[in-house]
Amino acid sequence: MIKYPNGDKFEIHQSSRKKKMPIDISISSANRGMNLEEDINLSNDYYLTKNILLITKRPTPINVVKVDYSKGARITDAFFQKQSTTDYNGVYQGRYIDFEAKSTKNRTSFPLANISSHQINHLKHVIQFGGIAFFIIQFEFYNEVYLLDASYVIDFYENGKRKSIPFFQIKEKGCLIVQGYNPRLNYLDAIDDMYFKK
Amino acid sequence: MIKYPNGDKFEIHQSSRKKKMPIDISISSANRGMNLEEDINLSNDYYLTKNILLITKRPTPINVVKVDYSKGARITDAFFQKQSTTDYNGVYQGRYIDFEAKSTKNRTSFPLANISSHQINHLKHVIQFGGIAFFIIQFEFYNEVYLLDASYVIDFYENGKRKSIPFFQIKEKGCLIVQGYNPRLNYLDAIDDMYFKK
């Protein structure tokens, strides 16, 4: 349950998404857990404004094939490339932070299929060189978001017998991220819990 | 002067660039100091292979206007956006590293005109949150490359009376980066000197 700025409390049930609602509530509902990336970006803006940490999103790599300079360097042919690293990185208390955010509609496990071996390699390097590496994983069905240390995912990716990490194991090994209005995803508390506990 | 893998020494003078040369030497010459970005990328590859540090280049941000899905998500209209952060960041000994690379043909100073206020703000945040921030500045005429701490550039940008940093001050405050075959730019030694001296 979260408080909206007007003070109303509003609890969202999965079923309520299908009902027709007044526009403001349906927007709130649509925002909730429906766009993990947007939520992370908003949270990052909040943390930066509050002078806490700096996380930036890497732009999507695009391979430019043709540029029309007669139109002021307008790109007329290009294609998306696969991200060979992760989506986010930055700095907190001098430490290097690197993470990938993934969302799943699956109710029982997080499928590893949409993590590339390049990303796994990248995260292994981050850990090797002393950085902090994790995944932010959203289970859309439960509207729950977890921070899970990358080493756990890497181990599962390379040595696991299953092609997915069971939900109950993520609950056990990961850290539930508290959701609210601002920051939308308080993943900093999870970082503190996981990596900065005295 | 650098040694090429075949053992030959070859010193480049500015005037020699205009002369017609055998193809292999002209390629070496073209590579030398003519493409700072490529030299940094190659050096980063070297450092990663040697398990020393991880630096990645942020993709150029592109604003996609139109995508033709009938051709398999081919981008048919897009334009380049200005980088609001820096080109490079990564991790070394757990610390967050962030830098921008710039090249100038100017012989007497480094013009600040091609640094955006967004980049200055970004680097201020990096320093504020305990990261390591610097510029790699190449003077093409001398074929010299310097690592200069970002705080110095920020101070000049915000408080300096000139719109450029004199070359002699960069020589004084910066750290000359040793050039070689592999890594092309040994900027790690400069990082160690500037930020990790005991």
Give the pLDDT confidence score for residue B7 in this predicted structure.
36
The pLDDT of residue A34: 60
Closest CA to B100 of B61, B144, B150: B150
Mean pLDDT lowest for which of A100-109, A143-152, B77-86? B77-86
Residue B4 distance to chain A (closest CA, Å): 30
Q: Which two tokens stand for residue A175?
A: 């850290």
Q: How far apart are CA A10 and CA A8, in angstroms?
A: 6
Residues B147, B132: contact at Cβ < 8 Å? no
Residue B181 structure tokens: 């075959």
Q: What is the pLDDT of residue A72?
A: 85
Asked if B126 is an interface residue toward chain A (Cβ–Cβ < 8 A), one would say: yes
Structure tokens at B53: 């540090």
Token digits of residue A17:
């998404």
| Domain B16-195 listed as CATH 3.50.50.60 | no
Q: Which residues of B touch A49 (CB under 8 A)?
A: none
- The predicted-structure confidence for A43-99, as pLDDT tens digits, reads as follows 999 999 999 999 999 988 999 999 999 988 899 999 998 888 999 999 999 999 999
Q: What would the two tokens of residue B138 be? A: 């190449």
- Write out residues in chain B with pLDDT < 50, as ranges: 1-33
- DSSP secondary structure, A41-98, as one string: HHHHHHHHHTTS-EEEEPPPPEEEEEEEGGGSSEEEEEEE---SS-SEEEEETTEEEE
Asked if A94's CB is within 8 angstroms of B130's CB, the reply is yes
CATH class of the domain at A33-195 = alpha beta
User: CB of B121 within 8 Å of any CB in chain A?
Assistant: no
* C-alpha to C-alpha distance for B150 and A196, rounded to whole angstroms: 27
ipTM rounded to 2 decimals: 0.80
